[in-house]
Structure 1
Amino acid sequence: MILKGSKFKDDRGALKFNNDFDVSSIKRIYTIENENLSFIRGWQGHKIEQRWFACMNGKFKIGVIEIDNFDSPSNQLCPKYFELTADVLDILHVPAGYITSIKALEEESKLLVMADYKLDEIQDEYRFPLDYFSN
């Protein structure tokens, strides 16, 4: 799920890049900045839409769960966690059929989110309480 980015630094400054990321599917971008470090945004996801996440500032912990049935998912499903930092331009790809939780790990963290559908192009948003899943 992680497309590894990299960085180059010389006397002119730094360049962060991800040459393996194909942006041709992207139709919308936005940023997320959580209000504080204790807030967790989630669980939220999509049957059809995909998301790509990149940390622009600070650090984030993103939980990802593949959903077996969006109408009544098993509460025994366990998340896999990924950390994204602003040090390199790693991109977390979350395919359709997954939900996520998002937690900032540093003050003033900013997450770039990219989606393959425009806002309100389809109705495909599913939300579950933070304590619904066992972990």
Structure 2
Amino acid sequence: MKPKLIFGGCHKDERGIVKFNNDFNMSVIKRMYTIENNTSNSIRGWQGHKIEQRWFIAIVGSFQIDVKPILAFENQDYSQEILSFKLLSNSLDVLHIPAGFVTCIHTLEKKAQLLAFSDFELGAVKDEWKYML
């Protein structure tokens, strides 16, 4: 399985705006949290999971999320292509990061907020991997 964007949508009328994502299946999600950096151009990475999956939604501002397989770091294969995704808060697009990948999260705007979901409860598995590029 590869990382992928699950596209949301937006409906506007005289009453206001409804953002939606009808293709995001949340049945395996166990917890959620937010990430907010105080400055633009903040970077969190490279970190990821061999067992857990993550889903990300920009709820305020915008983010660039770079993704690589964990095996690229373990095998020191730094030539492996980086997949880059941009998340904007004006849609409800969801970025799914399957198990076996690491991310580098770039905040593109001050006070941007990223909503994150996990398919494991906190502390259920020891599965946090951090790398330097």
Instruction: Tell me the number of residue pairs that the alignment of Structure 1 and Structure 2 aligns.
Output: 130
Alignment of 1:56-95 (within 5 A): 56-68=59-71, 71-95=74-98
Could you tell me which of 84, 98, 101 is aligned with 1:98? 101
Distance (Å, rounded) in 2 between the aligned partners of 1:128 and 1:2: 24
- Post-superposition shift, 1:69? 6.0
Alignment of 1:20-35 (within 5 A): 20-35=23-38
Distance (Å, rounded) in 1 between the aligned partners of 2:38 and 2:13: 35
Could you tell me which of 46, 50, 70 is aligned with 1:47? 50
Query: 1:64, 1:98 within 8 Å by CA — same for their partners in 2?
Result: yes
Identity rate, percent: 45
**CA spacing shift, 1:73–1:120, aligned 2, 3 Å:** farther
The C-alpha deviation readout for 1:43-96, integer Å capped at 9, x for no partner, is: 000001000000000000000112226644423223111000001100000000
- Unpaired runs of 5+ residues, structure 2, are none
Larger displacement relative to structure 2 (28-37 or 81-90): 28-37
Match of 2:15 in 1: 12
- Post-superposition shift, 1:108? 1.5
Match of 1:113 in 2: 116
**TM-score calculated relative to the size of structure 1:** 0.91
SS in 1 for 2:71: coil
- Unpaired runs of 5+ residues, structure 1, are none
**TM-score calculated relative to the size of structure 2:** 0.92
Query: 2:51, 2:100 within 8 Å by CA — same for their partners in 1?
Result: yes
